[in-house]
Structure 1
């Protein structure tokens, strides 16, 4: 999905400028700013998943290798390339036993999973022991075509500047001439902020947790903005 919003209004304009042509004659000019904003749906999503060992019962400990194997197989079953799953960090907690003579180390690993969408998220998480998942959150979103969208935003901003200058000149009975100068003021990519970045949503704490759908995740678009200053001659 992509939505283009052109903003033609800008704080100020100037028709006071003059430029020297090749015959040393002064040319009247108009300087305007054009702004554009493009909204795009991200097709690259980085999901961080933290797994931690736990004591299933008095005699059974689910170790990190078991949880990692479950996650790897779930990712593979979902049809996601193995290289899309990487280890982000490794840590652990120590819980001291009686008299503090021995330590039981509960290892923890955080994985970074690259996805094109979240459609298979629940099926992936379902393949791992619920108690072994301690955190899941969206760490980053972007687009595989982000540079193309940057360029498109600049073009739209320049077109907006020309359209505005044309309207202003027609309003006072003048004609717009050719462009004399183009300055890129700014180009920004605004990534979405998720109110519920931690998307466990009680999934592993509620009896009805498995009914939670992926569509409940606060999913937002990326915004690419550009502002161009253009100076046109007045005929």
Structure 2
């Protein structure tokens, strides 16, 4: 009985082995080249989001008199935004807060000063100085770039990805040509790496503007904001004819 079982196993192996050998030979007959292509694009952001924080203050800080309220500062900001050519909808309220104001070394709070945070969406940041110049600088707590983006970012991603794939094909073509061979059909495409770099947010300290600057004398900056970098790495396998 044991001999019969052993003989059956040997016969099964003899039948299976040629089939495996045939598959391996089939793959070996397909000559191919695998290469990676790369492409990168830099784009100037057309969506810049600024955080602007306003807070109440006293014109006579020592005696805690003549408080400039948050509504006055908010009105100045809204007027400055529209005067700079931005739609009113570009400015939105993002937070409300406040703090206790103390006099000297006394532990009891003398008053409560309210603060508000806003987000301003613009297509470029060259007019921000002009906006801030029309708001009393003592009422500006801080202003900073929160984030940037581009309205056509997804479209640019596709363009970069296609360019990376074309780079892979071009590379495979001249490598195969160097061996006096011809490039055949594509066998496989893989996305290896995606990278989208956004400029780091920057803090802008409020500064005191002169009367001339407050009277629309602040020039627009001609310095471009840092660019967004989009890059892709694509791998492709081609048949060698």
Alignment of 1:139 onto 2:146: yes
1:190-216, CA deviations, whole angstroms, 9 ceiling, x for partnerless residues? Answer: 10125xx1123x632899988876538
Question: Higher strand share goes to which structure?
Answer: 1
Aligned pair in 2 of structure 1 residues 136, 103: CA closer, same or farther (>3 Å)? Answer: same
Match of 1:37 among 40, 48, 67: 40
Structure 1 runs, 4 residues or longer, greater than 4 Å off: 97-102, 205-214
Does the CA-based 8 Å contact 1:36-1:225 persist in structure 2? yes
Report the alpha carbon displacement of residue 127 of structure 1 after superposing the two structures with TM.
1.4
Question: Higher helix share goes to which structure?
Answer: 2
Alignment of 1:163 onto 2:167: no
Show the counterpart of 1:56: 59
* SS, match of residue 215 in structure 1: coil
1:155-202, CA deviations, whole angstroms, 9 ceiling, x for partnerless residues? Answer: 0000000010011111111111111111111222110125xx1123x6
Match of 2:155 among 148, 157, 171: 148
Match of 2:112 among 89, 105, 116: 105
CA distance, structure 2, for counterparts of residue 163 and residue 205 of structure 1: 56
Aligned length in residues = 211
Mapping for residues 69-218 of structure 1, pairs under 5 Å: 69-97=75-103, 103-193=110-200, 197-200=202-205, 203-204=207-208, 215=221
Structure 1: tracts of 5 or more residues without a match? 1-19
Does the CA-based 8 Å contact 2:133-2:218 persist in structure 1? no
Structure possessing the higher radius of gyration over alpha carbons: 2
Aligned pair in 2 of structure 1 residues 30, 82: CA closer, same or farther (>3 Å)? Answer: same
CA distance, structure 1, for counterparts of residue 143 and residue 109 of structure 2: 31
Aligned pair in 2 of structure 1 residues 109, 24: CA closer, same or farther (>3 Å)? Answer: closer
Does the CA-based 8 Å contact 2:127-2:221 persist in structure 1? no
Show the counterpart of 2:18: none
* SS, match of residue 160 in structure 2: helix
Show the counterpart of 1:230: 236
Structure 2: tracts of 5 or more residues without a match? 1-22
Give the TM-score, by structure 2 length: 0.78
Aligned pair in 2 of structure 1 residues 60, 226: CA closer, same or farther (>3 Å)? Answer: same
CA distance, structure 2, for counterparts of residue 207 and residue 131 of structure 1: 14
Show the counterpart of 2:49: 46
CA distance, structure 1, for counterparts of residue 28 and residue 229 of structure 2: 44
1:67-89, CA deviations, whole angstroms, 9 ceiling, x for partnerless residues? Answer: 01110111122221112111122
Across the aligned residues of Structure 1 and Structure 2, the Cα RMSD in angstroms comes to: 2.6
